[in-house]
Amino acid sequence: MVALIDYGSGNVRSVFNALKSLGADVRLTADVSEISRAKRIVLPGVGAFGDCVGGLKERGLWDVMHAALHDGRPFLGICVGYQMLFEESEENPGVRGFGFFPGRVKRFSTPGLKIPQIGWNSLDLAPHPLWTGLPANPYVYFVHSYFPATGDESVVIARSTYGETFAAAAARGNVAGVQFHPEKSQAVGLTILRNFLGAK
């Protein structure tokens, strides 16, 4: 069973439908016991960093998410769900993330750049099981004004460039996060989600 975490962060229906289309037994849930039993966890996120952190805490899900990051189950963070895996964000100073990956989330600062970035952009991939079967430099769909910056390049598994080059995806062990939206990235995104569902 795949637990898709429901904590009031935007519309998760597209993520649910993408996973369901791949044959996953996916549950949209805020139930701690159900999340604890799940074989895989997907943490989505739309909106402000601080609101997402607050949503998890208000629903009593922060501790179970923190535990899940360290218990070996496949875990995928999407968009702000990815950003929360880092230590903090410029978007809401003083609000702490999970700190699973070192670094902080920054706002795009290139002069003249249209913010937020909305649309398709290519990835420069490092070897990782999530990318199995993808073409070179695949295009995926982004909607974001902020991106994680890390001093530990060993966790970065994909980069993209929009004014500046940033960590479009990171992973360590069974935990991965992506800044883009695989559920909106057509065949490439479905391949990534299929690879996540097949992760051991």
What residues are labeled active site?
79, 181, 183
| Residue 96 near residue 63 (C-beta atoms within 8 A) | no
- The CA-CA-CA angle for residues 144, 30, 68, to 5°, reads 75
Query: Read out DSSP for 133-164?
Result: TPPSS-EEEEEESEEEE-S-GGGEEEEEEESE
What lies within 8 Å, CB to CB, of 166 at 6+ separation is 147, 148, 149, 159, 160, 179
Picking from 155, 153, 150, 160, the residue whose alpha carbon sits closest to that of residue 172 is 155
Residue type, 82: Y
